[in-house]
């Protein structure tokens, strides 16, 4: 018989070898960021190039009109809501794993961001936010004379 093991890429271990992530995750399903035990936090990638930061968020099942992107005090916030589908008549669910509700993710950037040039594109359930750097914050090559 095969046993399924939950993948934990970053497991926090105590000095005694106890996997604290697994222990507290199973005992307390809260992540601390929300009051509900099943808070939904979309997965996000944050990357940096020479000219910009790029934030890519997986927002499957979220309508474009239900997402807001804001930038204030060097912090980019992506917020929105995944709404539960309404069902006609009686539906008997045998298993429900999809999570619905409001979400918010915030990311703080270093100084040197051109806030007026931040752009966002939403395509096929993926949000891509470009956060350009100012000319002063971009790396420069200096010619040696």
> Which tens digits make up the pLDDT trace of 39-76?
789 999 999 999 999 999 999 999 999 999 999 999 99
Give SS3 for 133: strand
Class of domain 35-83+99-137: mainly beta
> Which tens digits make up the pLDDT trace of 70-115?
999 999 999 999 988 776 667 787 887 888 899 999 999 998 899 9
Beta carbons of 124 and 105 less than 8 angstroms apart: no
* Domain chopping of the chain, boundaries: 35-83+99-137
Q: What is the pLDDT of residue 79?
A: 96
pTM: 0.67
- Range in 11-15, 40-44, 76-80, 138-142 the model is least confident about: 11-15
Q: Rounded CA gap, 71 and 55, in Å?
A: 13
Task: Tell me the mean pLDDT in the region 10-32.
Answer: 54
Edge to edge, what strands does the sheet with 101-108 contain?
A: 67-72, 75-82, 101-108
């Amino acid at each position: 018989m095969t046993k399924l093991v939950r993948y934990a890429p970053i497991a926090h271990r105590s000095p005694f070898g106890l996997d604290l992530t697994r222990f507290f995750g199973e005992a307390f399903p809260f992540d601390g960021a929300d009051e509900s035990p099943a808070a939904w936090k979309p997965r996000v990638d944050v990357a940096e190039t020479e000219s910009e930061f790029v934030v890519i968020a997986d927002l499957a099942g979220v309508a474009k009109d239900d997402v807001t992107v804001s930038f204030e005090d060097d912090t980019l916030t992506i917020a929105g809501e995944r709404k539960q589908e309404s069902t006609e008549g009686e539906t008997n669910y045998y298993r429900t794993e999809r999570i619905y509700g409001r979400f918010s993710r915030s990311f703080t950037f270093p100084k040197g961001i051109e806030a007026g040039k931040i752009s966002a594109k939403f395509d096929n359930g993926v949000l891509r936010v470009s956060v350009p750097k100012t000319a002063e914050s971009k790396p420069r090559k200096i010619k040696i004379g």
